[in-house]
Amino acid sequence: MRHIILLLFAMTGAFAAQAADVLPVPERWAADPTQVFEASEVDLRELQWLARPVIVFANSPRDPSFVEQMEKLLSEVDRLVERDVILIADTDPDARTEVRQRLRPRGFMLALIGKDGEINLRKPLPWTVRELSRTIDKMPVRQREMQERR
């Protein structure tokens, strides 16, 4: 199963790289909110008030915690889509991406940024989509969204 997830992640990255020349990240995410974006192609300012970035950091795409976290996220990606989550992966510490410089992870880390641009969560271990969804559902902006949809 892990090999399949790694293959899917690699393929998503390859397709995303091809599409990067065509559309900006917010438009690509709007077209397919289930895809995983590389941190090197993301400008968090473009996502403010549009999406909730969930960023998974590791020092390697083979990090067992990274693989486990991606499996958990991708297995229930529809629950994240309902909450306007954009999935971002950063597995290259040498790239020094904007996201990595802002959040300064040490090895594996899961981070959640709210639509307002504030860092709402940093975790050193993988989380389930259920735990993540509960955290998102407690955010004030999400509370307002749920009330407006009633």
Domain locations in the chain as residue ranges? 2-148
SS3 60: coil
Residue 103 amino acid letter: L
The answer to whether 123 touches 148, Cβ cutoff 8 Å, is no
pLDDT tens digit sequence for 56-110: 999 999 999 999 999 999 999 999 999 999 999 999 999 999 999 999 999 999 9
In eight-state DSSP terms, residue 62 is T
How far apart are the two ends of the chain, measured CA to CA in Å?
39
In the predicted model, is pLDDT for residue 20 greater than 70? no
pTM: predicted TM-score of the whole model, two decimal places: 0.85
Question: From its phi and psi, is residue 107 left (phi > 0), alpha (psi between -120 and 50) or beta?
Answer: left
Tell me how long the chain is.
150
CATH topology of domain 2-148: Glutaredoxin (3.40.30)
Question: Which helix H or strand E contains 86, and what residues bound it?
Answer: strand 85-90
Cβ pair 142, 83 in contact under 8 A: yes
